[in-house]
Amino acid sequence: MPSDWASHKDEGLQQTSKKEIRALKEEGLFFDGHPLTVKTDAVSKCLAWSQIRPHLYSCDGETVTIWRCELQRLYDVRKFLCHNNNPFVNDIVTDLYVINEMTRELVMTCSEDGLMRIWDPGYSIYSHDLEAEQQMITAAYLLKDAPISIPMNKHLASVFSWNQKCGLMAVSGNVKVCRLWDAHAEKSMQEIQIGARNCAVTKLSLDNSGSNLLAVGLSDGLVNVYDPRLPDKSRRTMSFRELEKPVIGLSLFSNLVGESSEGNLRLIAGSRDGEIRLWEPRMFKEPVVSFNACSFPRKDSLTNMEVHVHSQCIGCMDDASMVKLFDLNGKQLGEIRQDDWLVSGRIGTLISMRFHQLLVSLAVATENQTISFYRMPDLS
């Protein structure tokens, strides 16, 4: 059960996020033009937010840093090595997940070779404060012995998706299967055959609304939806072939309570060439929204797409060092240009981005070892 402090913090953030979403969508406000920017020791490959604490996690592949985000500055409050000083492990962390946000907050580090670790950062359950040293709780090679999908490429290029409600982690990559790992039992509980020839899985999305569905995006643009509850040969329930380039963003979710078409399942996928598709898979086989997020006439490539489920917005990051924000109808709500961030010289190519779970806030990391924190203007 969450502590009273955690419940109170979450309630306050929910109220603030409602104001921010209304300001973004109805009043036309956008991120504050003066983001907080901090110089890091190395390029941050992945980012993740604490839901109820003003903290951001970053990882350069080896070291996790926890940043405190205040009104006027960003500063680190803790650093630790992912490999825990083990000289025999040299994996590179490519993704982070914050889990158990409302109770005992933990951080999950996921590596390109399928190695997953769960860390306790040492937070008090009654405050923002760190009260103990970080501690690794468990670790597992989730793709051990998985058959390679593209024989010419032995690189696993693992991708992950986490379902907090079920305590499940989905993992796949350049392999012929998707494995579901049960965090409570600490073991692999299911293996789903992908069935694609000479294609790697590039994105995964587990539906957190309770449907147990899994969306899988492939390197040829195909998007499949699986139901793990069905028998082996019947698990693939839907296939969508609208995209032609590798899938770089994928989100399977249900509308929030109070939204129009409340509870309606939605699937959003984005491909390298900027094509974005939104399906309502339980109602229509054809996409209900289609648009291209890249700039015209110069057509850039998308490098990342994230969906902020709480605000029902899509964030698209391209190789021209720009982030654009769209609503679910494809209307552009705003954009962040690299020139906006210039502090002293060129900031560099964008490497990673991550939305806060509730607030309309965005963290962006660049190849020039900076992290910028964007948030809405003060609406109080």
Per-residue model confidence as pLDDT tens digits over 122-162 = 999 999 999 999 999 999 999 988 878 777 676 788 999 99
pLDDT at 209: 78
Find out whether the peptide bond into 297 is cis, omega within 30 degrees of 0.
yes
CA distances from 16 to 9, 41, 102, 143, 358 (A): 11, 33, 17, 40, 9
pTM for the complete prediction?
A: 0.93
Q: What is the pLDDT of residue 325?
A: 97
Percent of the chain with pLDDT over 90: 74
Tens-digit pLDDT profile for residues 320-366: 889 999 999 999 999 998 655 554 445 568 999 999 999 999 999 99
Q: How confident is the model at residue 212 (pLDDT cuts 50, 70, 90)?
A: confident
Domain extents in the chain: 4-375
**Alpha helix segments (H runs only) across the chain:** 4-25
What architecture (CATH level 2) is domain 4-375? 7 Propeller (2.130)
pLDDT band at 117 (very low <50, low <70, confident <90, very high): very high
For residue 150, the model assigns a pLDDT of 73
Check pLDDT > 90 for residue 87: no
In sequence order, the 6+-apart residues with CB closer than 8 A to the CB of 86 are: none
Higher pLDDT, 33 or 297: 33
